[in-house]
């Protein structure tokens, strides 16, 4: 029975996939082969053992008049079936070890990207290479309506993001993983990469994609409510496309950089804040501001959102340790924080009519 995946490999279509995903790196191919080897080993053992059982079941039954033999020890066979499995295990330990050693060799990367897990999105920051300095968030882009079965599901349902990780083909990419809240896990099966993002620690892993294309994975460590909704998408592109993408990113970064001294008007601020809110806060506090009490408090009418400005800003900048409320000061710019807080204080029933300037955020951050 355990042999099925091996027999059907290759003939399977997408929906009836029976084996590991098609490997897209040298390492993934080695893992694939190692798994195939193991599969054959266990199938052979299984068939061998249960052939004996089947023989007994058929020929040694009482209903056929078989009389029980009287033996209950035999040192020779007992030694044999201790030694033979040991030898089999030693044999498979060799490829298993060498594959693992290769897997852990993160030395001499062509570029390094820092990956940060957030509840429930991924942050990417290019640390070395041409794109050094580029930094953005990658969030699930499947519409809510598809998840709630209100409209038909798209082709890449739950495996699509607004901004994938973009890397050049054929380059050794080293990832530095960490997390801002709970443990997440960055995983792309086609690369044979799966590493925990542990808050407070950096862990590294690597891959070298062989073919251009889009590769998909998912967060693989239970990280709370939306654990099932934080996919990983990697776009592997040619060197030229990568250069173009890098240039675009740099230009875009320069363009959106806010003038910290700008004085914002209320409607501008609220419009900007709504975007920030949808991207960062709505997962917990919900688009309508009602939250999901008691785990995630409502902001509509909340004491903090209607109370003094400073306390509200403080909550957003520093978060609340020990709860899911993260310190957004580390993720958002002064302008974004000003905007989102202004939005919260003016949206729903919180019509306070207050304006908050980035400078106020800056002043509070120091404290």
Partner 1 sequence: MQASQHAAHAGHHEDDSHGHGPTGLMRWITTTNHKDIGSMYLWFSFAMFLVGGAMSLIIRTELLSPGLQYLSPEFYNQMLTLHALIMVFGAIMPAFVGFANWMIPMMIGAPDMAFARMNNWSFWLLPPAAILLTASLFVPGGAAGTGWTLYPPLSIQMGIGMDMAIFAVHILGMSSIMGSINIITTILNMRTPGMTLMKMPLFCWTWLVTAFLLIASMPILAGAVTMLLTDRHFGTSFFNAAGGGDPVLFQHIFWFFGHPEVYIIALPAFGVVSHVIPAFSRKHLFGYTSMVYAIAAIGLISFFVWAHHMYVTGIPLTGQLYFMYATMLIAIPTGVKVFNWVTTMWRGSLTFETPMLFALGFLVLFTIGGLTGLVLAMTAVDIQLQDTYYVVAHFHYVMVAGALFSAYAGLYYWLPKWTGHMYNEGLGKLHFWLSMIFFNIAFFPQHFLGLAGMPRRIPDYAQQFADFNMISSIGSFGFGFSQLLVLVVVFQAMKGGAKAEARPWDGARGLEWTVPSPAPHHTFEEPPPFDPAEAHG
Partner 2 sequence: MSHPAPASRYFVPDPSHWPLVGSFALLLLATGAVLTMNSIANGGFVLMGGFAVMAVMLFGWFGRVIGESESGSYNLQVDRSFRWAMAWFIFSEVMFFAAFFGALFYVRVLSVPDLASPEQAGLWEGFKGQWPTAGPAAKDLFTPMHAWGIPAINTLLLLSSGVTLTWAHWGLVANKRQQLITGLALTILLGLVFIGLQAYEYAEAYSHLNLKMTTGVYGSTFFMLTGFHGFHVTLGATMLIVILLRTLKGHFTAERHFAFEAVAWYWHFVDVVWLGLFVVVYWL
Min CB(235)–partner 1 separation in Å: 18
**Distance in angstroms (rounded) separating the CA atoms of residues 159 and 253:** 26
What angle separates helix 358-365 from helix 334-346, to the nearest 10 degrees? 110
Decide if residue 49 touches ligand HEA (CB under 6 A): yes
CB of 101 to ligand HEC, least distance (A): 38
Q: Which is nearer to partner 2, 197 or 270 (CB)?
A: 197
DSSP-derived letter for residue 289 is S
Q: From the list ligand HEA, ligand CUA, ligand HEC, none, which binds 235 (C-beta under 5 to 8 Å, kind-based)? A: none
With CB under 5 to 8 Å by kind, the binding choice for 297 among partner 2, ligand HEC, partner 1, none is: ligand HEC
Choose from ligand HEC, ligand HEA, partner 2, none: what does 202 bind? Cβ within 5-8 Å by kind: partner 2
Stretch of residues binding ligand HEA (CB under 6 A), selected from 84-92, 246-254, 305-313, 320-328: 84-92
17 binds, among partner 1, ligand HEA, ligand HEC, none (CB under 5 to 8 A by kind): partner 1
159 lines the binding site for partner 1 (CB under 8 A) = yes
- Tell me how far the alpha carbon of residue 244 is from its chain's centroid: 26
Of the pair 238, 288, the CB lying nearest partner 1 is at: 288
| Burial (CB count within 10 angstroms: exposed 0-12, middle 13-18, buried 19+), residue 145 | exposed
Question: Can you tell me which of 29, 135, 156, 306 binds partner 1, judged by CB under 8 A?
Answer: 156
Report, in Å, the least distance between residue 309 CB and ligand HEC.
11
Residue 201: CB minimum distance to partner 1, A: 6
Pair of tokens at residue 33: 């082969």
Q: How far is the CB of 45 from partner 1 (least distance, A)?
A: 7
**Residue from 247, 236, 233 nearest 171 by CA:** 236
Dist. CA 186–CA 260, nearest whole Å: 34
Q: Which residues pair with 214 in a beta bridge?
A: 235
Backbone angles phi, psi at 276, to 5 degrees: -60, -40
Q: What is the distance between the alpha carbons of residues 348 and 1, in angstroms, rounded to a whole number?
A: 58
CB neighbours of 349 closer than 8 A, spacing ≥ 6?
300, 301
Nearer to ligand HEA, 81 or 363 (CB): 81
We find the least distance from the C-beta atom of residue 22 to ligand HEA, in angstroms, to be: 22
Q: Cα separation of 73 and 357, whole Å? A: 85
Kindly write out the interface string for residues 170-209 of this chain, putting x where it contacts partner 1 by CB under 8 A and - elsewhere.
-----------xxx-x-x-x--xxxxx-xxxx-x------
What is the DSSP pairing of strand 111-118 with strand 173-179?
parallel
CA-angle at 224, arms to 219 and 229, nearest 5°: 45
Asked whether position 54 contacts ligand HEA by CB under 6 A, the answer is no
Name the site residues for partner 2 (rule: CB under 8 A).
114, 176, 178, 200-202, 204
The residue (of 96 and 324) whose beta carbon lies closer to ligand HEC is 324
Q: List the one residue from 11, 67, 76, 308 that touches partner 1 (CB under 8 A).
A: 67
Confirm if 340 and 277 have CB atoms less than 8 A apart: yes
* Interface residue list for ligand CUA (CB under 6 A): 117, 120, 184, 219, 221-223, 227, 230
Rounded Cα distance, 167 and 36, in Å: 29
Cα–Cα distance measured from residue 61 to residue 68, given in angstroms and rounded to the nearest whole number: 9
User: What is the contact surface with ligand HEA in residues (CB under 6 A)?
Assistant: 45, 49, 85, 88-89
């Amino acid at each position: 029975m355990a042999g099925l995946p091996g027999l059907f490999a290759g003939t399977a279509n997408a929906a009836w996939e029976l084996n590991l995903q098609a490997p897209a790196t040298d390492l993934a191919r080695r893992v694939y082969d190692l798994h195939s080897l193991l599969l054959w080993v266990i199938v052979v053992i299984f068939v061998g053992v249960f052939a004996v059982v089947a023989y007994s079941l058929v020929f040694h039954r009482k209903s056929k008049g078989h009389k029980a033999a009287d033996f209950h020890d035999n040192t020779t066979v007992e030694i044999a079936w201790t030694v033979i499995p040991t030898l089999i295990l030693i044999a498979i330990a060799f490829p298993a070890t060498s594959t693992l050693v290769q897997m852990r060799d993160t030395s001499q990367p062509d570029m390094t990207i820092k990956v940060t897990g957030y509840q429930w999105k991924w942050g990417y920051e290019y640390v070395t290479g041409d794109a050094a300095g580029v930094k953005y968030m990658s969030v699930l882009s499947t519409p809510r309506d598809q998840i709630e079965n209100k409209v038909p599901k798209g082709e890449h349902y739950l495996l699509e993001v607004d901004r994938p990780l973009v890397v050049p083909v054929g380059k050794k990419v080293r990832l530095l993983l960490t997390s801002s809240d709970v443990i997440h896990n960055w995983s792309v099966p086609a690369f044979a990469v799966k590493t925990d993002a542990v808050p407070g620690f950096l862990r590294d892993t690597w891959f070298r994609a062989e073919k251009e294309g889009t590769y998909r994975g998912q967060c693989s460590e239970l990280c709370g409510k939306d654990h099932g909704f934080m996919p990983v998408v990697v776009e592997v592109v040619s060197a030229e496309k990568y250069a173009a993408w890098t240039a675009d990113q740099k230009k875009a970064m320069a363009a959106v950089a806010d003038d910290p001294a700008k004085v914002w008007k209320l409607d501008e601020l609220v419009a900007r804040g709504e975007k920030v809110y949808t991207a960062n806060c709505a997962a917990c506090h919900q688009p309508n501001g009602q939250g999901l009490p008691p785990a995630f408090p409502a902001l509509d009418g909340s004491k903090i959102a209607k109370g003094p400005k400073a306390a509200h800003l403080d909550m957003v900048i520093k978060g609340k340790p020990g709860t899911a409320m993260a310190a957004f000061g580390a993720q958002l710019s002064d302008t974004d924080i000003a905007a989102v807080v202004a939005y919260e204080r003016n949206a729903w029933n919180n019509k306070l009519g207050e304006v908050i300037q980035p400078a106020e955020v800056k002043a509070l951050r120091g404290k």
